[in-house]
Amino acid sequence: MVSIKHITTFILLLGSIFAYGQNALSELSLDRAYELLEGRYPALKDGEILTDIHQKTQLKLDKDRLPAVFLKADGRLQSQSVQLDVPDGAMLPFDINLPLYSAKSYLEGQYMILDGGVNKAQKHLAEVQLKADLQSIEINRFSLRERINQLFVNIVILREQAKLFDISLADLAERKAIVEAGVEEGVLLGSELSRLRVKELEIQALQDNVHYKLQGLVNTLSQLLGTELVDSVRLGFPSFADPRQIQPIERPEQQLFQLQQEAIMANAMLIDAAKKPKLSAFAQGGVGYPNPLNFLENATAPYGVVGLQFNWRITDWKRSHLDKEMLALNAQRLQNARETFEFNLNTREASYLAEVTRLQKQLIRDQEIVELQGAILTQLADQLDGGVITSSDYVTQVNAELSARQNRLIHETELLKLQLEFWNERGGK
């Protein structure tokens, strides 16, 4: 007797299978695959951390502009102090004889009124550096595309190969039925049927190999994206323009070079700001012994001081000039790196166009060969059915026709892969 527990387990199993089928994607575009991978790739999550660090850096710089209060203490022992020697017989209304030791404890407040623009330059440098760091993440994001592209292309190749095997197997099955009838009637030898069966098994073995490879690639893609995919998921490629239309380069590396140059210019602003005059206010109040302000008072006394401090470094022996020259040289290196990057991409155009032309002409020839081999196979099929040729002759032509269609598939895939890689190299837009 079937228990309620068994029925419940069976229902839950069916429900899980149904839910799996509902959640698994049946269609997947290249752009959507990019989004799914980018959404779960750990290194791309650094953007939030970098932004948070930047916000804290800006807050820290704001706090640097606020008045600072220090609690200080000072004690010292001297080998000599201020003393006034009075000649014999002279009379003074007071004595000057400071102790050899002194101590004071006080609060000191400082406030930078004018910093020459250093704080503003530091903020600007932090903003530019954040943009450069975030752009580095965009480069990592862009580099992930190649993994998706390879999986998409390889899945397409295997699926097309599976279709070719299906066509050959269907044709062999039709021929087998006719040969079997001939064997039963005693018109044909059993070896003729065996040859067809051997070829059928060979193609089925190839088909099984393709099936498992295809299943592995789909599973890899599913795991990479963190999304369930049906085995027959339909893959969507972007609409490529005419292969001979070369799109402009729009790579994230170009913007990174620009941002890195801006960061260098921000450092130059910081150097200029450091040379400008500085004005700060200070206040000090506390208790000292002896009186820190009145040296005639040899006793513990409170005291207070307020004032302004002006600081302007008139000459630095051209150190800032050398710093700016080094920054300019680094900026030139970045410019050279950018031009080299674009140069290498642009020099790919000629080879790309030549390869496109070669593959397009090859595909025209491939199609003609496929049609001719198909016509020959049709003729040999009729001859096999009529007993004019042996199954060995027919199998030889099956191999030739299948090889012709596989060659066409290889060249079609090469063209697709070439266009996809070139499209991706130029920025994928």
Q: Identify the pLDDT of residue 11.
A: 44
Residue 145 pLDDT more than 70?
yes
- Consecutive H or E run containing 175: helix 145-184
Q: Looking at the predicted structure, is the pLDDT value of residue 221 above 90? A: yes
Q: List the chain domain ranges.
A: 32-64+115-277+312-425
Q: For the segment 146-181, what is each residue's pLDDT rounded down to a tens digit?
A: 889 889 999 998 998 888 888 888 888 887 887 777
| Model confidence at 217: pLDDT above 90 | yes
Class (C level, CATH) for 32-64+115-277+312-425 = mainly alpha
* Measured CA distances, 188 to 182, 194, 394 (Å): 5, 11, 14
Please, which pLDDT band fits residue 383 given cuts at 50, 70 and 90?
confident
Report the Cα 22 to chain-centroid distance in Å.
Answer: 31
Question: Would you state the structure tokens that stand for residue 391, as one six-digit string?
Answer: 């199954």
How do residues 15-67 score in pLDDT, each as one tens digit? 444 444 447 888 999 889 989 998 888 888 899 999 999 999 999 999 999 99
Alpha-carbon distance values, 127 to 50, 57, 61 (Å): 11, 10, 12
Q: Strands 229-236 and 25-29, how do they pair? A: parallel
